């Protein structure tokens, strides 16, 4: 499917979430598709059925959502959705300036967000991209102090990270200096996107957010805003890839 098709499918899912129950296919075809200038009647029905991916539980006449039956994240280890902001792309030459994550454990949700003093100036283009300035980092702790604070919430968790090799390239050697080997199970949403959205030519978080119609996400390119976006796209892709089977994250 094209990126536009993914957006339309997500709007169908959003409409079902608003309703909280299955809706007739004919109603969704009329409301979601025909209202956007697309063909009506049988053509709209055919287009609708072509949009229904693994997120949707289909009956003969109605369509619902598998998420109503199977929770995300599935039961098992705690899940941590994580993101970093850094002074550049090199884990050897650059430093972390912000760490944020959301830890999900059953019904419990914990948010962690900390600025990090990198001990060196922030490049101007990083400040323009993230909005983080030298003033924000004045008095912030160093990276090892922040990692020691974060460690109890990260241990024994499954990590969900957009483009995981980048973040892990910064985190693993720094945790190792603290005497902790970071060997958590990791889900990379880029890898999921290759399978769930083969119609996308680019799989950066901006592209995934667009494909899933997440135009209302605020504070993008700040760590916590990107965590929120990563969590939402991971949830959509989990159901796309499992299609009603309540699989553990590592089995997807």
Q: Which residues are catalytic?
A: 221
Q: Give the pair of three-digit tokens for residue 13.
A: 């899912």
Contact 242, 195 (CB under 8 A): no
CA dist list (Å): 221 to 12, 13, 166: 27, 26, 15
Q: Is 144:180 a contact under the CB 8 Å cutoff?
A: no
Q: Which residue has the tokens 């957009």?
A: 162
C-alpha to C-alpha distance for 129 and 127, rounded to whole angstroms: 5
Cα four-point dihedral sign 145, 148, 150, 154: positive
- C-alpha dist (Å) from residue 187 to 22, 92, 168, 251, 252: 30, 23, 12, 10, 9
* Three-class secondary structure of residue 90 per DSSP: coil
Q: How far apart are CA 158 and CA 150, in angstroms?
A: 14
Which pair of structure tokens corresponds to residue 82?
């994580």
């Amino acid at each position: 499917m094209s990126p536009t098709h993914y957006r339309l499918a997500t709007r169908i899912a959003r409409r079902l979430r608003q309703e909280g129950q299955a809706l007739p296919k004919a109603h969704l075809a009329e409301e979601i598709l025909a209202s956007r200038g697309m063909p009506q009647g049988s053509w709209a029905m055919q287009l609708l059925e072509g949009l229904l991916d693994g997120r949707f539980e289909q009956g003969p006449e109605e369509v619902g959502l598998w998420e109503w039956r199977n929770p995300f994240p599935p039961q098992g280890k705690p899940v941590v959705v994580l993101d970093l902001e850094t002074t550049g792309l090199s884990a050897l030459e650059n430093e972390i300036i912000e760490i944020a994550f959301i830890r999900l454990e059953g019904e419990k949700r914990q948010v962690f967000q900390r600025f990090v003093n990198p001990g060196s100036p922030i490049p101007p283009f990083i400040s323009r991209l993230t909005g983080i300035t030298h003033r924000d980092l004045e008095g912030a702790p160093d990276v090892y102090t922040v990692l020691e604070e974060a460690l109890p919430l990260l241990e024994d968790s499954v990590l969900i990270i957009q483009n995981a090799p980048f973040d892990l390239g910064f985190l693993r050697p720094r945790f190792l200096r603290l005497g902790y080997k970071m060997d958590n199970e990791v889900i990379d949403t880029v890898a999921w996107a290759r399978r769930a959205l083969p119609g996308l030519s680019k799989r950066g978080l901006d592209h995934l957010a667009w494909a899933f119609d997440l135009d209302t996400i605020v504070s993008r390119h700040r760590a916590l805003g990107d965590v929120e976006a990563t969590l939402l796209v991971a949830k959509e892709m989990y159901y796309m890839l499992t299609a009603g089977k309540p699989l553990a994250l590592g089995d997807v």
